[in-house]
A and B are shown apart, each in its own frame.
Chain A
Amino acid sequence: MTLHDLFLALPITFVTLWAVLLIVVEAAAKRAQLTFSLTSIGFLALIAITLVTNEQGYAFGEMVRLSPYSQFANFVFALSGLLVITLSQSYLAKENSHFGEYSIIVFIATLGMMLMACAANMVVLFIGLEIMSIALYVLAGVMRKDLRANEAAMKYFLLGAFSSGFFLYGISLIYGATGEMTLFKIGIYLQENGATSLFWVGLSLMMVGFLFKISAVPFHQWTPDVYEGAPTPSTALMSTASKAAAFTALITVVLNVSSQTENNANWKFALSTIAVLTMVVGNIAALSQENLKRMLAFSSVAHAGYMLVGLVAANDAGYSAVLFYALVYSLMNIGAFGVIALLEQHRAFTSASDYAGLFKEKPLLAGVMALFMLSLTGIPPFGGFVGKYKLFAAAVESGQSWLAVVGVLASAVSAYYYLRVVIFMFMREPQSENQFDGVVMSPTLVWIAFFVVILGIFPTGMLRFVSEAVKFAFKM
C-alpha cells in the first residue's frame, strides 16, 4: 500500500476516515443533530469528490479498481444516502429513535456499497457486501421498541446471513475452479481454459447471493415483510442504493466471466426466466396489496426484474441502461418512500385509502407523489420512462424482443396499482376534515421530483456518462 493508492482510491479513503471521525464525534458529543449535519457534509463532500476526480486504475494490489464506472456508482450511493438521512430526521424524531448513530450507519452502509462497486477481487466484494448488509440489518431494527421492526430486522438478518453463506461458498468454489481471486484474472483463466462444472456451481451460488440482495424471484420472499416492518427511511435505502450496489457488482462479475456466459444457452435461459418471473410475480403480487409499503416492496421486486432484462440483453446498451435505471429508480423510490414517511409520522397512515383527499388539502405533496407514481409506471416525460425505454431497447437490440414485450405488459399491469394511490389522493374525498393539518412538506421531495423530471426530459448527458462508464466495468 502506497500513498498513491490512498489518493487513487480517494472516495473510499475519504469515506472510511470520515466514518471514523463521525463515530468519535458522536461518542464525544452525543448530539444527533450535529452528527446528522456532519454526515450530510460527508455525503456532499463525497458527491463533490466523485464529480471532480476521475482517476482510474487498480489500487491496493489489484484489490479495488477505480474508474468512471465506480465513480457513477459512488454518485448514486452518495446521493441516495444523503436523501435518505435528510428525509429520516423528522421521522426518527417522531418515533423516538433519533440517534446520531442512524446517520453514521447509513454512511457506513454507503462505504460497503462503494466497495462492492469498485471491487476487483472477490474478497473485497464479499467484504463490501457484508459491510452493507450488516449496516442494513441494524437500520431495519433501529426502532428497538417496535415489535414489527424487530421482526423485520430478525428476518432480514437470518435470510441475509444465509444468502451471504451461499455467496461466500460460491466464491470459494470459483477460487477452487480457477485458482484466482482477482476478477480479471478469473476472466483470463476462463478464456484460456474454459469453465468446469465446479465453476458453474460456484457462479450459481454467487448468483443466489446477488439475486437475494436485489430481491429477484424466487429469492424475494423476505422483501414485503422487511420493507413493511422496517422504519420507512431505512426501507428507502434498502430498496434503492443496496439494489444499485448489488447490480453494479453483478455487472462487473458477469462481464468478467462473459467468455463463458456469452454463448451459453442455459445461462441465458436461467437469467431470462428469472427476469420474467420477477417482473410478473412482482407486479401481480403488488396488485392486491393494501399496505403501501408492501405494495412498494413488490413493486421494487418488479423493478429488479426490469433491470435484469438489461443483464439478459448482455450488451453495452443493456448494462448502461441498468446503471441509468438504478439512478432514476433510486430517486423516484426514495421520493415515494419519503412521502410515505412524511405522512406516516403524522398519523398511522398505511394504506392507499388513508391518502384520500390529500390533493384537496396538500396539493403540492399529492402532486409530487403522483409524479413519483407515474414515473414508476414509466410514463413520459419522467425519468422512469427513459430508463425503461433504454432497458427494453437493449433487449430488442440483442434479439430478445419477447422479453421487452413481457416487460411492457408487466408495466401496463403496474399502472393499475400505482394509479390506485393517485385515485385516492386526487379523486376521493378525505375521510375526515383537516386530517392532513400539520403535515409539513419537505423541500427535499421537491428536489427529487425536479431531478426525476430533468432525467426524463434532458437525459442526454447522464446517458452519455453511463455508456462511457460501462466501458470501464470490464478492462484489464
Chain B
Amino acid sequence: MGSSLLSLTIFFPFLFAIPLLFFNREKASLSKFYALAISLLVFVMAASLLMNFDPSQGIQFRHVALEAWLGEETDVKYVVGLDGLSVLLFAFSALVFPLVILGTWTSVQKNVNEHLFFLLVLETCILGIFSALDLFLYYIFWEAMLIPMYFLIGIWGGANRAFAATKFFVYMLTASLIMLVGIIYIGIRGADLNGGIFTTDYQKLLNLDLPFTIQAILFWLFAISFLAKAPLFPLHTWLPEVYAESPVSAVVTGVLLKMATYALIRFNVGLFPQASAYFSTFIVVLSIISIIYGAAIAFAQKEMRRVLAYSSISHLGFLTLGIFAFTEEAMQGAILQMVNHGLSTGLLFMLVGFLYERRQSDRLSDYGGLKKVMPLGAMFFTIAMLSSVGLPGLNGFVGEFLILIGAFKSPVLQNGTYAVLGAIGVILSAVYMLPMFQKIFLGELKSDENRRVSELNLRESVVAVVFVILIVWIGVAPSSFLKLSEKSTASVIEKVQQKSSLTSK
C-alpha cells in the first residue's frame, strides 16, 4: 500500500492536470479551485508519507514497476522510494505548489488553464526527481522538468521572457546531456555487479567500486549538470534572467534549485565518494566565491527580484559548502538549509510578487514608505528577511550554524579559513537585505501610486502565514526535522570517510 501511494503522489498532479486543458477558458476561477484542490490533495498524500516515515530505516515506500523498461538486455526500471535525504524535500515540494497556486491567483491572467497545467506537470517532475532511485528514471524526470519550466517562463514571464526561457533551456539541456553520457557509462560499469547486465539501479550502483580516475571523470560529468542548476559560480548566469522574468520564481527558489544540491548528495557524493573527497576543496572554493560574489552583486542591484536572485546564488553557496565539508553536522545543516532557503526566499519572492502586482514595478527606487499602507506586509517581509540573514530563533540560523560548525571541523578541508569566509557571507546577507527593506518599507510615501497600495488581502496573508509558521517552527524545534535525515547522512559521511582514507594510504 505504502509503495503505490508514493507513485500515486508523484503522478497525481500530472494525471489530474490533463483535464485542465479541456476546462472552459472563460471560467478561470473554476480551474484555479480545481488545481488548488489537486495540489492540496497531493500535499496531504505527501504529508502522510512523511508521517509514516521511519527515520531509523533506510529507503522506504519503495515501488518498482516496468521491469526491463528498455529491453531484456538492460536492467533499467521504474523504481521510486524515499529516504532521509529526500523525504523532507519531497514533502516540502508538495507544500510549495498549493502556496504558489494561491500566491499567483490573480497575477496570472492570460491562459490560466495552461498555466495551472504546466505547474502541475512541473510538480510531478519535481516529486519524481526527489524520489527516483534509478538513474535513467531520474534523468527522465530531470529533463522532462525543462518542458513545463520552459513554457512557464516563456509564456507568462516578463518582456524578455523568450530569451530567458531559451537561455535556461539550452543551459540545462547541455549540462544534463553531458550527465546522460555519464549515466550510460556508469550503467555499463554497473554490469560487473549485475551479472553482466547494464544497470542504472541506484542501490546496486552504490556497491560499485570504481577506480579513482573513472570516478573523477564521472564526478564531473554529473557535477557540471548539478552545479549549473544549483547554480554555482561560474555557471550561474542563467539564474538572474530566469528570476527576473519568471512569474513562478518562488517555485524556482523553493524547489528547483534544491533538486541540484539534493542530487549532489545523492549521486555525486553517494556514487563517487573518493572523487568527491578529492575535489571537495575545489568545490568549496567555488562555494565561497559564490557566497561572497553573490552577496556583492546583490548589494548593487536596483531591482527587487534581481537582489533576491543574487542572494540565492549566495545562499546556494552555503549548501555546497555544507555538502562538501563532509561532516555530519554540515551535511545535515545543508539538507535543512535547502528547506530553509526555500521558505525564506520563497516567502520573499511571494511578497515581492504581491508588491509587483500592486505597483507593476520591480525597481527599488519606485518604492518607499510602504510600511504605512501595508503594515502586515512589512511584518511578513521582516520575518522572511530575518530568517534569510540567519537570526537566531528562526530557521535560517539553524542551518547556517550547523554548516559553519561542520566546515570548521571538516576533516577534508583541514582549515578553518573556509568557515570564516562563509561566516562573512552571513554578515554580507544583512548588508544587502536590510537596505532593500529600508528602500521598500521605510521613509516617506513619496508618490500617489505608493499611497494607493493596498494591504495584503486574506488570501495573500494565508500564504504568508503558512511560510511564517514553518520558519518559526524549524527555528525553535529543529531537532524533529534533523532527526529525519540523521541516519542517511551518517551513512553517506561514513562511506566518504572510509573510501577517502583508503586513497590517502
Instruction: List residues of A whose CB falls within 8 A of some B CB.
Output: 317, 320, 359, 363, 374, 377, 379-381, 385-386, 389-390, 392-393, 396-397, 401, 404-405, 408-409, 411-412, 415-416, 419, 422-423, 426-428, 458-460, 463-464, 467
Contacts and interface: CB of A to CB of B under 8 A. Distances in A.
Contact of B162 (A385, A389, A428, A460): A428
10 contacts: A359-B155, A377-B173, A379-B143, A396-B185, A397-B184, A415-B169, A419-B170, A426-B155, A460-B68, A460-B69
Given A380-B143, A426-B155, A386 B70 contact: yes
Contact of A460 (B66, B165, B169, B181): B66
B405 interface: no
Nearest to A416: B170
Contacts of A463: 70-71
A408 B177 contact: yes
Given A389-B180, A416-B170, A423 B70 contact: no
A427 B165 contact: yes
A139 to B, nearest CB: 35
Contact of A409 (B144, B161, B177, B198): B177
Given A392-B184, A426-B155, A460-B68, A412 B143 contact: no
Interface in B173-224: 173-174, 177-178, 180-181, 184-185, 187-188, 198
Nearest to A414: B173
Contacts of A405: 178, 181
Given A392-B181, A401-B181, A464-B72, A423 B166 contact: yes
B97 to A, nearest CB: 20
Given A380-B143, A427-B162, A467-B73, A392 B180 contact: yes
B329 interface: no
A428 B178 CA distance: 31
Nearest to A426: B155
The size class of the interface chain B forms with chain A is: 35 or more
Given A379-B146, A467-B71, A467-B72, A426 B181 contact: no
A147 B500 CA distance: 71
B189 to A, nearest CB: 10
Given A396-B185, A397-B184, 13 more contacts: A363-B114, A385-B140, A386-B70, A392-B184, A396-B188, A409-B174, A415-B173, A419-B150, A423-B154, A427-B162, A459-B69, A459-B70, A460-B71
B401 interface: no
Contacts of A396: 181, 184-185, 188
A408 B181 contact: yes
A419 B166 contact: yes
B162 A379 contact: no
B177 A379 contact: no
A401 B178 CA distance: 11
A392 B139 CA distance: 15
B198 to A, nearest CB: 8
B152 to A, nearest CB: 11
B15 interface: no
Contact of B140 (A381, A404, A423): A381
B144 A381 contact: yes
A458 B140 CA distance: 13
Contact of B154 (A317, A393, A411, A426): A426
A388 B71 CA distance: 15
Contacts of A397: 184, 188, 198
B169 A464 contact: no
B109 to A, nearest CB: 14
A397 B140 CA distance: 20
Contacts of A379: 143-144, 146-147, 173
B293 interface: no
Given A379-B146, A390-B70, A463-B70, A408 B170 contact: no
Contacts of A415: 169-170, 173
B161 A427 contact: yes
A256 B432 CA distance: 70
Given A380-B140, A386-B70, A460-B66, A427 B154 contact: yes
Contacts of B147: 374, 379
A427 B170 contact: no
B34 interface: no
B151 interface: yes
A412 B170 contact: yes
A381 B73 CA distance: 21
B64 to A, nearest CB: 14
A408 B178 contact: yes
B162 to A, nearest CB: 4
A399 to B, nearest CB: 9
Contacts of A408: 177-178, 180-181
Contacts of B140: 380-381, 385
A464 B71 contact: yes
A401 B139 CA distance: 18
Dominant SS among interface residues on chain A: helix
Nearest to B68: A460
Contacts of B150: 419, 422
Contacts of B177: 408-409, 411-412
Contacts of A460: 66, 68-71
A386 B69 CA distance: 11
Contacts of A409: 174, 177
B378 to A, nearest CB: 36
Contacts of B155: 359, 426-427
A389 B154 CA distance: 27
A381 B138 CA distance: 12
Q: Which of the listed residues B71, B178, B187 has the most CB atoms from chain A within 10 Å of its own CB?
A: B71
A425 B193 CA distance: 48
Contacts of B146: 379
B199 to A, nearest CB: 12
Contact of B139 (A359, A380, A419): A380
A393 B184 contact: yes
Contacts of B139: 380
A401 B177 CA distance: 13
A428 B72 CA distance: 45
Contacts of A459: 69-70
Q: Which of the listed residues A389, A405, A458, A467 has the most CB atoms from chain B within 10 Å of its own CB?
A: A389
A419 B149 CA distance: 13
Nearest to A410: B177
Contacts of B69: 459-460
Contacts of A464: 71-72
A189 to B, nearest CB: 32
A173 B155 CA distance: 59
Q: Which of the listed residues A374, A415, A416, A464 has the most CB atoms from chain B within 10 Å of its own CB?
A: A415
Contacts of A419: 150, 166, 169-170
Nearest first, the 8 closest Cβ-Cβ pairs linking A and B are: A408-B177, A412-B174, A463-B71, A380-B140, A427-B162, A396-B184, A427-B154, A393-B184
Nearest to B146: A379
A428 B140 CA distance: 29
B309 to A, nearest CB: 21
Interface string B131-162: 00000100110011011001100110000011
Contacts of B73: 317, 467
A430 B224 CA distance: 38
A395 B66 CA distance: 25
Nearest to B221: A405
Contacts of B143: 379-380, 385
Interface string B69-93: 1111100000000000000000000
A444 B139 CA distance: 31
Q: Which of the listed residues B72, B170, B181 has the most CB atoms from chain A within 10 Å of its own CB?
A: B181
Nearest to B136: A389
A339 to B, nearest CB: 18
B144 A380 contact: yes
A401 B185 contact: yes
Q: Which of the listed residues A363, A377, A385, A412 has the most CB atoms from chain B within 10 Å of its own CB?
A: A412
A285 B187 CA distance: 34
Contacts of A380: 139-140, 143-144
